[in-house]
């Protein structure tokens, strides 16, 4: 019954999407963190998805291959009163793009939703198959 | 007698198996809607069903072994018979999944699966009625 495999496929995708949502949450929460434990401003994180085979029937799930630091340049804000400002009065701020993160969030939650619906459909089919002949 | 029973139920059983496999392929597509470079796949139901009815696994070809030391080999693996979908619109990250189309296909395939299941059920009920009178 390869229908059971759909639970693994959809489950792996839901796992990956929720990790993406987590990353978005931490990016949005730290959009203004000009300093952190290591003294550096927060760097936006992005997840990298990769297709991963599930079972031996050719089904493909998703896993998170890596969580990378966003390579986009850091923002600089002119604020000479800030204790973190350099000698020219500029403060380096995190490279979090709030609009991009919001888009990411909506996309992740919609994808998560599709996977949940897929699981529901599969569940119904399996339950009906169990009733075969009765 | 049992042979005939098998023959009678065979069509929808095989159809269910192919629907089952297709459902899994479509699920993989939807799951990978956000994976860069993922190419959407599907199987041609007609040829897959014909293959299943003729007893050949979908597209699989056995490796000829001419000496006892030869390994059997797994020809084409499990994705034999799977085709790539032609994307309606390209995307920057090389992903060819069109979620709307995939979900439509998924729902359609689920209903077809149910149809085959219902038909199989009716056949079984008919047989039971004939046996029990």
B36-50 tens-digit pLDDT: 999 999 999 998 888
Res B76: pLDDT: 46
Domains held by chain A: number: 1
Which residues from A are below 8 Å from B114, CB to CB?
Answer: 125, 128
Query: Which is higher by pLDDT, B111 or B88?
Result: B111
pLDDT at B63 over 70: no
Q: Is residue B38 part of a domain?
A: yes
Alpha-carbon gap, residue A11 to A17, rounded angstroms: 10
- CB atoms < 10 A from the CB of A124, how many? 13
Tell me if A9 and B31 make a contact (CB, 8 A cut-off): yes
Q: Which residues are CB-contacts of B48 (< 8 A; sequence separation ≥ 6)?
A: B18, B21, B22, B58, B81
For A80, the domain range is 1-133
Tell me if A5 and B24 make a contact (CB, 8 A cut-off): yes
Helix or strand holding residue B100 (H, E): helix B99-132
- Closest partner residue to A58 among B23, B82, B124, by Cβ? B82
Residue B43: beta bridge partners? B82
Domains held by chain B: number: 1
Q: Is residue B80 part of a domain?
A: no
Q: Is residue B67 part of a domain?
A: no
For B126, the domain range is 1-56+96-133
Tell me if A10 and B36 make a contact (CB, 8 A cut-off): no
- CB atoms < 10 A from the CB of B73, how many? 11
Q: Is residue B90 part of a domain?
A: no
CA-nearest residue to B105 within chain A is: A118
Query: How much is the average pLDDT of B48-75?
Result: 71
Count of pairs with CB atoms under 8 A, one residue in A, one in B: 98
Alpha-carbon gap, residue B13 to B19, rounded angstroms: 10
Q: Is the pTM of this model over 0.90?
A: no
Q: Is residue B111 part of a domain?
A: yes
From first to last of the 134 residues of chain A, give the pLDDT tens digit: 678 899 999 999 999 999 999 999 999 999 999 888 888 999 999 999 999 988 777 789 999 999 999 999 999 999 999 998 999 999 999 999 999 999 999 999 999 999 999 999 999 999 999 998 87
């Amino acid at each position: 019954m390869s229908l059971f495999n759909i639970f693994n496929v959809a489950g792996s995708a839901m796992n990956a999407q929720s990790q993406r949502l987590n990353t978005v949450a931490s990016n949005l929460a730290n959009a203004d963190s000009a300093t952190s434990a290591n003294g550096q401003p927060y760097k936006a994180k992005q997840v990298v998805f990769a297709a991963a085979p599930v079972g031996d029937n050719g089904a493909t799930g998703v896993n998170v291959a890596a969580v990378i630091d966003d390579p986009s340049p850091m923002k600089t804000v002119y604020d000479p009163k800030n204790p973190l400002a350099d000698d020219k009065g500029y403060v380096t701020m995190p490279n979090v793009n709030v609009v991009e993160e919001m888009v990411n969030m909506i996309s992740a939650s919609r994808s998560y939703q599709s996977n949940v619906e897929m699981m529901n459909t599969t569940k119904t089919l399996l339950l009906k198959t169990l009733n075969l002949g009765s | 007698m049992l042979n005939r029973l098998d023959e009678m139920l065979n069509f929808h059983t095989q159809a269910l198996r192919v629907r089952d496999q297709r459902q899994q392929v479509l699920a993989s597509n939807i799951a990978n809607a956000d994976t860069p470079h993922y190419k959407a796949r599907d199987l041609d139901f007609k040829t897959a069903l014909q293959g299943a009815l003729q007893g050949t696994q979908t597209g699989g070809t056995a490796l000829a072994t001419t000496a006892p030391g030869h390994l059997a080999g797994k020809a084409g693996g499990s994705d034999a018979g799977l085709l790539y979908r032609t994307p309606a619109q390209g995307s920057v990250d090389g992903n060819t999944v069109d979620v709307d189309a995939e979900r439509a296909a998924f729902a359609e395939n689920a209903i077809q699966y149910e149809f085959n299941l219902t038909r199989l059920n009716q056949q079984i009920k008919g047989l039971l009625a004939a046996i029990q009178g």
